Amino acid sequence: MPKQISQNDLDIIVKVVSTYPNGGGVEQIHSALEGKVPRRTLQRRLALLVEQQRLIVKGRARASRYHLPVITGETHLRETFEKQVARGGFHIPLSLQGEEIRKVVRKPIQSRDPVGYNRAFLDSYQPNSTFYLSTEIRQRLYELGRSPEQRGQAFRCFLLLM
């Protein structure tokens, strides 16, 4: 069974790579770590970080340069850089409502509120005959799915479908 690598060891490597704005080679990273990690072990961990998408690699063989992933777009970070690096992955900018949903979804299953089914609705539902959403909401969703040119025609088509 392979040895488990601690997240702290990987975080240190990511932090070292972040100090090189143009990317760092294996030798640069190895020397920045002051030889605490053998070169071959460092190469394996860098490959693991690339696989986890916490780093990206450009070039091949000796010309390989390791970079942090580039994130574009407007972001509103509420956490420090160290927390983002420690968690790993990409930061996707979300609205406040999206952040709230993310928090609820990431809760452990044991701490979530159980949700049941409305059995009466399930029993009375008939596909293509009854609807869960109101007519106004269905119309709005239908219009959102159309191109701007087709939106004028969408209302007429929707009424025909009803």
DSSP per-residue codes, 84-129:
HHHH-SPPPP--HHHHHHHHHHHS-GGGSPP----HHHHHH--TTT
Enter the pTM of the model: 0.43
pLDDT of residue 86: 46
Given a cut of 60, is residue 138 above it in pLDDT? yes
Q: For residue 43, give the 3-state DSSP assignment.
A: helix
Given a cut of 50, is residue 69 above it in pLDDT? yes
Mean pLDDT of the chain: 78
pLDDT of residue 74: 52
Which residue segments constitute the domains of the chain, with CATH numbers given? 1-107 (1.10.10.10), 128-161 (no CATH)
Instruction: Name which residue leads in pLDDT, 151 or 25.
Output: 25
Place of tokens 């709005």: 140
pLDDT of residue 136: 92
Return the bridge partners of 66, or none.
24, 57
Given a cut of 60, is residue 158 above it in pLDDT? no
Instruction: Name which residue leads in pLDDT, 75 or 129.
Output: 129
pLDDT of residue 73: 54
Average pLDDT over residues 66-83: 61
Longest dimension (CA), the chain: 73
Handedness of CA 60, 65, 66, 72 (dihedral sign): negative
